[in-house]
Amino acid sequence: MKKVLIIGSGGREYSIGFFMKNEAEIFYAPGNGATSEFATNIDIKDFEELALWAKENNINLTIVGPEAPLVEGITDVFKKHNLIIFGPTKNAARLEGSKVYMKNFLKKHNIPSAKYIETNKKEKAYEFIEKMDKLPIVIKADGLCAGKGVIIAESKEEAKKTADEMLSGKAFGEAGKKIIVEEFLDGYELSMFAICDGKDFVLLPAAQDHKRLLDGDKGPNTGGMGAYAPTPLATPEIYEKVKEKIIKPTLKGMQEEGSAYEGVLFIGLMIVDNEPYVLEYNVRFGDPECEELMPLIESSVYDMFYYGAKGELEKIDVKIKDMVAVGVVCASKNYPYSSSKPAEIKIDDLNSCNGYIAYAGVKNIDGKLMASGGRILVCVGYGKDVKEARDEAYKIVDKVHFDGMQFRKDIAYQAIK
């Protein structure tokens, strides 16, 4: 049997392994308390050591889940050891690691995005802010800030103050010492995911996620409280435009930069007057979007990643099921503010439900599955349309019990009016 190593420990990584476990023997570094039910968890953190382990254990394919190891260069290390790994190199991962790099790349290659300036000087930021004729104004820190580095300022004063706080290092340290100031795009957001092999790509169904903690998109931002795919908001025309105006020039541009892009390209889009604009790139799957996308893949999940990593996507035909998946995140009591006491998870019989559970912040303690993180698990329901899939997802939520469990009750509301 083929052997696959998955890097990461969240619901995203769980779902990748879960939908591949009939095709390959799965290993996780580090995995979680539920991945150990169908795979082997490995406790090696150092990239060199992990690559040597992968060689000794004849791993056929390594898949990287989170952005941090990619930005730190895990792909480069594995490639140096002639291992097959799915994920961009350190240089290519700058598309997510540096907003300044990304915006300059978009401009250079004529890829639609909000008008902006990049600067490390307060005076230049002020001058641009003064000249902007519309509010709000968007200020972004250059580096990775755990999803908090984007501020939408409602007035010019607030925009200046925000720019100041970032540039002085007060807000985000080094990550904010260069900033982007850009115009606000008023439309609706979509997430698209392309499996890329450096030159070719496969575009997966578009998703919408729910970043805020509370119903009605209120409360603080989180890693994501739920998502669904495909979303009817992405029309065939939008898919076409995204392929032609965004993905093709991105892959060509990255080749020209000498950093051919291999891995998942996660495109955060704003659709304004039926035209897609790039808000951001991520160099990995979204979490919880991945948990809804994996069950939609009808053809071999292993092949999709393997041929992606080999630069041979043209050899396969990725087939997508005619189905919708809706995922509802169940989080611990104090998420996203602080951690909660580990709580035992009890799951009732799921036989009557159409879907699955992707486990994230869980530990196995003395044979018991314990909630031990922020986002604990994702209940994913399937259906012929969004409503049916949403109802199945909430049927699964009803079967999940742990102390302090919180979840949103309105996932996919944008598609059910």
Positions touching ligand GLY (CB under 6 A) are: 209, 224, 282, 286-287, 289
Sign of the four-CA dihedral 164, 162, 169, 179: negative
Cβ(281)–Cβ(264) under 8 Å?
A: no
99 vs 375 by CB, closer to ligand AMP = 99
Side chain identity at residue 353, one-letter code: C
54 vs 279 by CB, closer to ligand GLY = 279
- Give least dist CB 40 to ligand GLY, A: 26
103 vs 353 by CB, closer to ligand AMP = 103
- Give least dist CB 254 to ligand AMP, A: 19
User: What span, in angstroms and rounded, lies between the C-alpha atoms of 25 and 58?
Assistant: 11
User: What span, in angstroms and rounded, lies between the C-alpha atoms of 91 and 260?
Assistant: 9
84 vs 132 by CB, closer to ligand AMP = 132
- Give least dist CB 146 to ligand GLY, A: 10
Helix%, strand%, coil% for the chain, nearest 5: 30, 30, 40
Residue 38 contact among ligand AMP, ligand GLY, none, beta carbon within 5 to 8 Å by kind: none
248-256 and 99-108 helices cross at what angle (nearest 10)?
100
Cβ(62)–Cβ(7) under 8 Å?
A: yes
271 vs 328 by CB, closer to ligand AMP = 271
Number of other CB atoms surrounding residue 220 within 10 Å: 12
Q: Residues interacting with ligand AMP, by CB under 6 A?
A: 114, 138, 140, 150, 182, 184-185, 189, 268, 270, 279-280
- Give least dist CB 115 to ligand AMP, A: 9
- Give least dist CB 209 to ligand GLY, A: 4
- Give least dist CB 357 to ligand AMP, A: 27
- Residue where the block lists tokens 């041929």: 307
Cβ(5)–Cβ(283) under 8 Å?
A: no
Q: How many residues does the chain have?
A: 417
Cβ(283)–Cβ(264) under 8 Å?
A: yes
Residue 93 contact among ligand GLY, ligand AMP, none, beta carbon within 5 to 8 Å by kind: none
Residue 224 contact among ligand GLY, ligand AMP, none, beta carbon within 5 to 8 Å by kind: ligand GLY
51 vs 415 by CB, closer to ligand GLY = 415
